[in-house]
Amino acid sequence: MHILTIAIFLVSLIFNSYSADKALKPEQYPFSFSKPLGKIDKNSAQRGLQVYVEVCASCHGLKHVAYRSLEGLGYNKDQINRIAAQFQLNDLPNDEGEILKRNAIFSDYFVEPYENYNAAKAANNGAYPPDLSLMVKARKDGANYVRSLLLGYTDAPEGFDVGEGYYNKYMAGNVIAMPQPLYGDDVEYKDGTKASLEQEVNDLVTFLTWTSMPDLENRRAAGLKVIFFLFIMTIVFYLSYRKIWSELKN
């Protein structure tokens, strides 16, 4: 190939990637877990679970999360069975060979919203609603990104063609196939918290951070122990160094 053709091709590649990625950087929000030793706010995560179940679960799966792991958010087994019973899945074939639905229970994983990938795409104008279990880890600055995205729906600027999608400042390319899912007052919180848009989004992101990193607190606690241990050992080694050398010098 002619060298000039290659050069033009490369330059156009660079320009394309610029124009495709004109998303705003996510707004930084001080979540309970943002600080180095911060924890997941369990009450907030419980409210976030409610938002997921009542709003997002009709399109997005959470297939890596088992209902029983909700114990980590402070629920007991009965409460978890009640949460799971809001979802139905195919039972094993009965004696007549029919497959009936049954309520999900403690030991199941979150039930998928669609029978399969193609059904999910077909129901959403050809765009697949990705599984949310690991979404906060999968995107750069994930917690802030998901928060900004859910708050980032605005009217498209003059002359901007969104096709069959919706305008969103934080989405790569500024067009997203997901209609704005939250407006505020989408749920009635069981603990009486006011369900403003911002509250719902913060709770939801706290919940999705927990699903992505359920062991976050343990890891941080372990890290702290290691640092404490190294600190003590530094003192021990320093004192023994002093001791050994003081004897050798005499």
Contacting residues toward ligand HEC, per CB under 6 A:
51, 55-56, 58-60, 124, 127, 129-130, 135, 139, 146, 149-150, 176-179, 181-182, 204
Distance CA 155, CA 167 (A): 6
Q: Which residue's CB is nearer to ligand HEC, number 65 or number 182?
A: 182
Contact 216, 40 (CB under 8 A): yes
Q: Which residue's CB is nearer to ligand HEC, number 80 or number 146?
A: 146
Smallest gap, in angstroms, from Cβ of residue 205 to ligand HEC? 8
Smallest gap, in angstroms, from Cβ of residue 123 to ligand HEC? 8
Q: Which residue's CB is nearer to ligand HEC, number 19 or number 94?
A: 19
Distance CA 195, CA 114 (A): 28
Pick the closest to residue 105 from 132, 74, 78, 131 (CA basis): 78
Smallest gap, in angstroms, from Cβ of residue 138 to ligand HEC? 8
Helices 42-54, 197-212: crossing angle, 10 deg rounding: 100
Smallest gap, in angstroms, from Cβ of residue 133 to ligand HEC? 11
Listed in order, strand segments (DSSP E) in 18-114 are: 88-90, 101-103
Distance CA 197, CA 128 (A): 24
Measure the N-to-C terminal CA separation of the chain; round to a whole number of Å.
78
Helix, strand and coil percent figures for the chain, each rounded to 5? 50, 5, 45
Q: Which residue's CB is nearer to ligand HEC, number 177 or number 213?
A: 177
Smallest gap, in angstroms, from Cβ of residue 234 to ligand HEC? 43
Q: Which residue's CB is nearer to ligand HEC, number 106 or number 128?
A: 128
- Kindly state the tokens that stand for 194: 């006011």
Q: Which residue's CB is nearer to ligand HEC, number 58 or number 240?
A: 58
Smallest gap, in angstroms, from Cβ of residue 110 to ligand HEC? 14
